Structure 1
Amino acid sequence: MPMAPPPDFDTLTVADIARLSDTGQLPPVELWNPAHCGDSEMRIARDGTWYHQGSPIGRPAMVRAFSRILRREPDGGYVLVTPVEKLDIAVDDAPFVAVEMKAEGEGRDATLAFRLNTGELVTASAAHPLRFIEHDDGPHPYLHVRGGLEALVGRSVYYELAECALAGDDAVPGVWSAGTFFALQP
């Protein structure tokens, strides 16, 4: 059965996004423990582009399918896993990129929802926290997606977050989402 395309982010409310996120049926990769089979010869670049043997994977449905069987290992590495095989995959920064944000409400009542480069939808919350790491080239914000997998928040989306933080009246610059405060400083 072909995988359905992701919903149109622009037409969804934050409540729709939360509902869709909660019902996202993902394979139980955390339960699969096959023998390690080698290297997938795949890489996820910092900008979210997936490569196989050095060539970009141009089919979004293929990238979505692979992203559903991606798992973070206890040693910090990444693998593609099925019930019968496990293959290493290189990840330059984070395996996902948050490419769009939708905000509803204000202050403590705000909710922030994100669309990832794979079409997956995630609402920032205590279960899906935002964190900020300072690097030489500036802050790098990350959103927890699932099972130790994170999305690098794209630069334009980060600017939206910063705008929300500056509009707030909290003592420390930050944003609220689903009842949780996320400070913009590490």
Structure 2
Amino acid sequence: MAFHEIRFPDNISRGARGGPERRTQIVELASGDEERNGAWAGSRRRYDASYGVRRADDLAAVVAFFEARNGRLYGFRWKDWADYKSCLPSGQPAIGDQLIGVGDGETVEFQLAKSYASGAQSYSRPITKPVLGTSVIALDAVEQVAGWAVNTATGIVTFDTAPAEGVLVTAGFEFDVPVRFDTDQLDVTLDIERLGSITSIPLIEIKR
């Protein structure tokens, strides 16, 4: 996957719009009943960064970033200000935030993930772009200050020694979303006051 490990400017992404998308196939029967089928196992996020462009300098930064990514060719990191932590937005990442696995005495690699729960249902979202220096790991609620490493390009946590059977592996972290531009053209406007704007800057999450 062609990807640049660089984050879109935070000051512009903060004002963006977007969120998760699902694809559901719905067939309406003659009786009025419906049959619904989820075409995707997981969600995919879409954003529009144009809402974060407030001045001409922001516009110039977006154009430079777009050109350096060759339009849709290279992916990059995106901070979703509405959802970038393993915990609630008001909290700080902690060792017990997310269960990422259970030891079996053999497995040394565990994928970071974030669970979204409502009632009895939940969805586990793989986290592939943790932010450097923000991850904390625990085994059975005991923080591990050494003996492990996290790959910030994949979100895989690797232990020097496999956690024992039945041991709960938990984690806290901040993360980015891997995205790409969903267009090969930017529609840039400069008005009389030299204030820049871009009609739309569509971004779409890259799925592995």
- TM-score when scaled to structure 2? 0.26
The structure having more radius of gyration, on CA atoms, is 2
Structure having greater relative contact order (Cα 8 Å, sep ≥ 6): 2
TM-score by length of 1: 0.28
Structure having the higher helix fraction is: 1
